[in-house]
């Protein structure tokens, strides 16, 4: 039995590929999984729900400006590393597999100090700080995007949850539409801004919902926990705070409007769903970089957040959505760029990295 320490978390973009990898390792047998995260991240809920053991360390955000916290950071980081080295030795952990996030960087240093294999997966086209550090400590580097600037990295795609990776969307579409109360003959636009919603997307879609519905579409729209959103009560428009069956929403969708988070983009491409991506306008620009390959191949459209207005929907989005030929072409190109077996590819990569130890 090989014991793996899977390190990462904080957001769904880190936790979901971690869990998909844990599931694939478990499915293949002879693997024991220990997950390292923090009490504050999504992993504190999602990992135990999935049945995996979670070990937590203190949340250690990298200091970005001088402060008392910055002075204390090296000592807190060293303490976390020592805690993880102790865990590696007590549990006879054979490899650390990282996904970025607060728990990843100290785990990477601990793996290097303990002289066990370190493998990491970078989900974004713009690498995070933890994986930039990891790239200095290991040659076993994998990415979800082909254009991620990590030297010597291997492209494996995104590890996707099994219900997405194995989905037959065409066979599930009627059931999916029925779940949302949508007629089987209707076309479905999926709109999502992530778990917290997206103000610009919500506002523009609400203002144009009547026109989209008039063009023959039903809209499934996850609006997030927005206090400003008011349901316009348009037949055919289905806003909801949160969708607990996103697999069915994806199965129903023939087009999507979405942020270009790595996981969402990868799921849409894997299922050949054409999309208009509205990158999150705050941060280091990773969502624009995430969308680059899929947009450049013609599988998706890109509109900056500030430009996503009702006028853009009318002039750019609706003509594409209402053209069967353009939708089919985008769907084909999205599917060519998508990767369904990212979890299997990444686990193969992990097992090759530790093969000398297993022999």
Q: What is the DSSP letter of 51?
A: T
The answer on pLDDT for 196 being more than 60 is no
* 204 and 249 belong to one structural domain: yes
Q: For the segment 153-186, what is each residue's pLDDT rounded down to a tens digit?
A: 999 999 999 999 999 998 999 999 999 999 999 9
* 190 and 256 belong to one structural domain: yes
Interatomic CA distance for residues 343 and 215, integer angstroms? 38
| 143 CB-near residues (< 8 Å, 6+ apart) | 121, 122, 150, 153, 154, 155, 156
* 214 and 150 belong to one structural domain: no
* 94 and 125 belong to one structural domain: yes
Q: What is the pLDDT of residue 174?
A: 95
**CB-count burial class (<10 Å; 0-12, 13-18, 19+) for 229:** middle
Q: For the segment 11-33, what is each residue's pLDDT rounded down to a tens digit?
A: 888 899 999 999 999 999 989 99
* 264 and 218 belong to one structural domain: yes
List the one residue out of 228, 207, 233, 194 whose CA is nearest residue 309.
207
* 193 and 235 belong to one structural domain: yes
Q: What is the DSSP letter of 124?
A: S
List the one residue out of 209, 171, 164, 174 whose CA is nearest residue 191.
209
Q: For the segment 83-131, what is each residue's pLDDT rounded down to a tens digit?
A: 999 999 999 999 999 999 889 999 999 999 999 999 999 999 999 999 9
Q: For the segment 303-331, what is each residue's pLDDT rounded down to a tens digit?
A: 999 999 999 999 999 999 999 999 999 99
Interatomic CA distance for residues 25 and 22, integer angstroms? 5
Q: What is the pLDDT of residue 197?
A: 61
Size of the chain in residues: 359
Bridge partners (DSSP) listed for residue 273 = none
Q: What is the pLDDT of residue 195?
A: 58
List the one residue out of 256, 262, 35 whose CA is nearest residue 156.
262
User: What is the domain range of residue 62?
Assistant: 2-160+341-358
Contact 235, 218 (CB under 8 A): no
Burial 249-265 (b: 16+ CB within 10 A, else e): bbbbbbbbbbbbbbbbb
* Beta-strand relationship, 154-155 and 187-192: unpaired
| 283 CB-near residues (< 8 Å, 6+ apart) | none
Q: The tokens 């929907």 sit on which residue?
A: 313
Q: How much of the chain, in percent, has pLDDT values that exceed 90? A: 82
Q: What is the pLDDT of residue 359?
A: 47
Confidence of residue 61 (pLDDT cuts 50, 70, 90): confident
The answer on pLDDT for 66 being more than 80 is no
Average pLDDT taken over every residue of the chain: 93
Contact 311, 326 (CB under 8 A): no
pTM: 0.91
Task: Name the token pair of 140.
Answer: 């076993």
* 217 and 138 belong to one structural domain: no
Q: What is the pLDDT of residue 123?
A: 95
Q: What is the pLDDT of residue 1?
A: 87
Report CA-CA distances (Å) from 208 to 202, 214, 223, 355: 10, 10, 15, 55
* 26 and 64 belong to one structural domain: yes
Q: For the segment 205-241, what is each residue's pLDDT rounded down to a tens digit?
A: 999 999 999 999 999 999 987 777 888 999 999 999 8
Q: What is the pLDDT of residue 357?
A: 61
Interatomic CA distance for residues 238 and 57, integer angstroms? 41
Q: What CATH number is given to the structural domain containing 193? A: 3.40.50.2000
Written as one string, the DSSP assignment of 155-183 is E------HHHHT--HHHHHHHHHHHTT--
Report CA-CA distances (Å) from 169 to 135, 144, 164, 338: 37, 22, 9, 14
The answer on pLDDT for 358 being more than 60 is no
* 186 and 211 belong to one structural domain: yes
* 19 and 143 belong to one structural domain: yes
Q: Which has more pLDDT, 246 or 285?
A: 246
* Beta-strand relationship, 31-37 and 255-258: unpaired
* 141 and 227 belong to one structural domain: no
Q: How much of the chain, in percent, has pLDDT values that exceed 70? A: 96
* 189 and 41 belong to one structural domain: no
Total domains, the chain: 2
């Amino acid at each position: 039995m090989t014991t793996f320490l899977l390190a990462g978390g904080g957001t769904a973009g880190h936790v979901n590929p971690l869990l998909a990898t844990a599931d694939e390792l478990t499915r293949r047998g002879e693997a024991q999984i220990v997950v390292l995260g923090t009490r504050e991240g999504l992993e504190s809920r999602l990992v135990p729900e999935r049945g995996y053991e979670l070990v937590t360390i203190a949340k250690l955000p990298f200091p970005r400006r001088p402060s008392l916290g910055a002075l204390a950071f090296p000592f807190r980081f060293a303490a976390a590393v020592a805690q993880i080295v102790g865990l590696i030795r007590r549990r006879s952990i054979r490899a650390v597999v990282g996904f970025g996030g607060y728990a990843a960087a100290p785990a990477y240093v601990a793996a290097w100090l303990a002289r066990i294999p370190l493998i990491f997966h970078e989900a974004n086209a713009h690498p995070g700080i933890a994986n930039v550090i990891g790239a200095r400590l290991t040659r076993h580097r994998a990415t979800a995007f082909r254009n991620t600037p990590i030297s010597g990295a291997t492209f494996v795609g995104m590890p996707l949850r099994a219900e997405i990776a194995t989905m037959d969307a065409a066979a599930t579409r009627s059931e999916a539409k029925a779940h949302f109360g949508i007629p089987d003959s209707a076309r479905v636009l999926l709109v999502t801004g992530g778990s917290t919603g997206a103000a610009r997307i919500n506002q523009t879609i609400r203002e144009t919902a009547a026109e989209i519905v008039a063009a023959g579409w039903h809209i499934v729209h996850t609006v997030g926990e927005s206090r400003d959103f008011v349901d316009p009560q348009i037949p055919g428009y289905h806003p909801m705070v949160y969708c607990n069956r996103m697999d069915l929403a994806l199965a129903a969708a023939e087009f999507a409007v979405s942020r270009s988070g790595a996981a969402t983009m990868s799921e849409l491409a894997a299922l050949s769903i054409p999309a208009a991506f509205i990158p999150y306008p705050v941060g280091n620009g990773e969502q624009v970089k995430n969308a680059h390959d899929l947009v450049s191949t013609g599988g998706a459209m890109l509109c900056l957040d500030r430009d996503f207005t009702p006028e853009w929907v009318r002039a750019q989005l609706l003509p594409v959505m209402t053209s069967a030929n353009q939708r089919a072409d985008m769907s084909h190109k999205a599917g060519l760029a998508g990767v369904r077996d990212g979890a299997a590819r990444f686990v193969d990569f992990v097992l090759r990295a530790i093969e000398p130890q297993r022999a």
